[in-house]
Amino acid sequence: MSDFINVGILGLGNVGAGVVRLLSEKRTIIEKRVGKPVRITKGVVSNLTQKRGLDLSEIQMSTNPEHILNDPDIDIVLELIGGLSLAETIILTALKKGKSVVTANKALLAEKGSIIFPAAHDAPGFFGFETSVGTAIPIIRTLREGFAGDEILKISGIVNGTSNYILTCMAQEGMEFEDALEKAQEKGLAETDPTLDIQGIDAAHKLIIMMNIAFNGVFDFSELYIEGISDITALDIRYTSQLGYTIKHVAKAQTTKAGIEAHVHPVLVPRDHILSSVNNAFNSILVLGEFMGSSNLYGLGAGPGPSAVAVMGDIVEACRYIQTGQQRPISPFSIPLEAWTPRQLVPMETIRSEYYLRFHVRDRLGVLAFISRILAKYRISVRSVIQTGEPTKKENPVDIVLITHEAVEADIQTALEEIKGQSFIAGRTQLIRIEAE
Ligand code: HSE
């Protein structure tokens, strides 16, 4: 056995650079915890000349992944390049070669989990993916190990730091979405192309990964209902605040009598709800277990520091497996492969929720009566109504805000479709679901 644990790193973006810095600054403490020095001996990047402000003098660099994959001295392959196709090949090849693998690639695990997890399960090496969800919140280990003795009934949380930062700016500074997004980009939080964050896809990737572990099955990412925050306006933030709610972007999955229900979208949470006070780039994940009750995990969900620590936790665990010669680590998703079956979600149309609806209408006699009649036709009962705005002229647009009692999603969608074509409608109708508990 070598005197060192050798790591090969693929990708030196924010997370990769953070890992190099962390290992360099915390070398002694990590060596004590592992019992051996851990060193990054090889690196692969797409551009060798790019300035990164890192000391790479002890790392042999290349642009070719085989530089790491074909090296028998590399114990741990660290995949931080992101994307689907090349990352998949790198991970599968490394696993086949008996290496331990650590990845932060949530998109790959969420969309191709049915390929990656079985391969990881059958491989002798350790497979770590803690960084894929929550970064400074160790939710993967918590679900797989800490809560392995309970039946998980619900996971719900704020798992996208960028969206949460934008919604916080909108709520606290009255900003419009576009301005808050620009601020998040200036702060280096949101990517230049922020689509994955603001359209809810990043949060959905994280939810599917948690569900695979919590509910012992493989869920199809394409079945998940996903909405981002880009249609939330400063006006909605104001109205909902007057009603005692905060708008948050929440990823949620729960067991119901009909099966597992899961969705990712903005929600109104009552101001005294625990998620209401999760602000800026913080994440918070609530897990409800049948025996344990509710547990709340809170921490930074993004950034080089928290991400590097999450990656290093997996590296340390991989080192311990290597040190003890353990050939078959625990299953990466908590149960044996044979028991890991495809699972279907309850269709979104059948879920029940309370709703916030904002109609932008021309102020005309009978409009409210018409809307109420259509809602009643589809069994949607109204809990409260406010009409806002002071039209200066007849038929000037005003907002009618309604809060409904619990209704069925399909009924709401059909009713809104019927109202949409009416001549009094002066703009897009807003729908935001309400988190009951
Ligand atoms: N872009 C993600 C977020 C961080 O804003 O939460 C990486 O998962």
Please tell me the residue having the least CA distance from ligand 1 atom 4: 302
Enumerate the domain spans of the chain. Answer: 5-135+304-331, 140-300, 350-434
- The Cβ-side half-sphere exposure at 13, using a 13 Å CA radius, reads 15
Mutate which of 106, 201, 202 for ligand 1? The one with the most ligand atoms within 8 Å of its CB, which is 202
**pLDDT attached to residue 192:** 76
pTM: 0.95
| Distance in angstroms (rounded) separating the CA atoms of residues 246 and 168 | 9
Could you give the dihedral angle defined by the CA atoms of residues 73, 76, 81 and 87, in that order, rounded to the nearest 10 degrees? 90
Report strand pairing: 152-158 vs 60-62: unpaired
Instruction: Single out the residue of 100, 351, 38 nearest to residue 224, CA to CA.
Output: 351
CA of 302 to the centre of ligand 1 (A): 5
- Pick out the chain residues at pLDDT < 50: none
What architecture is the 350-434 domain classified under in CATH?
A: 2-Layer Sandwich (3.30)
* Substitution candidate for ligand 1 out of 160, 189, 300, 311 with most atoms within 8 A of CB: 160
**264 C-alpha to ligand 1 centroid (Å):** 15
Q: Which CATH architecture group holds 5-135+304-331?
A: 3-Layer(aba) Sandwich (3.40)
Looking at the domain that runs over 140-300, which CATH code has it been given? 3.30.360.10
Task: Please tell me the predicted confidence (pLDDT) of residue 193.
Answer: 82
43 within ligand 1 shell (Cβ under 6 A): no
Residue nearest to atom 8 of ligand 1 (CA): 302
Q: Answer yes or no: is the C-beta of 160 below 6 A from any ligand 1 atom.
A: yes
Give the Å distance between the CA of 316 and the centre of ligand 1.
23
- 401 CA distance to ligand 1 middle (Å): 32
In this prediction, residue 136 carries a pLDDT of 87
Residue 106 backbone phi and psi in degrees, to 5: -70, -35
DSSP letter assigned to residue 130: G
| Whole-number pLDDT of residue 60 | 98
Q: Is 206 a catalytic residue?
A: yes
DSSP structure class, residue 150: S
Instruction: In whole angstroms, give the CA distance from residue 163 to residue 298.
Output: 16
Burial of 85 (0-12, 13-18, 19+ CB in 10 A): exposed
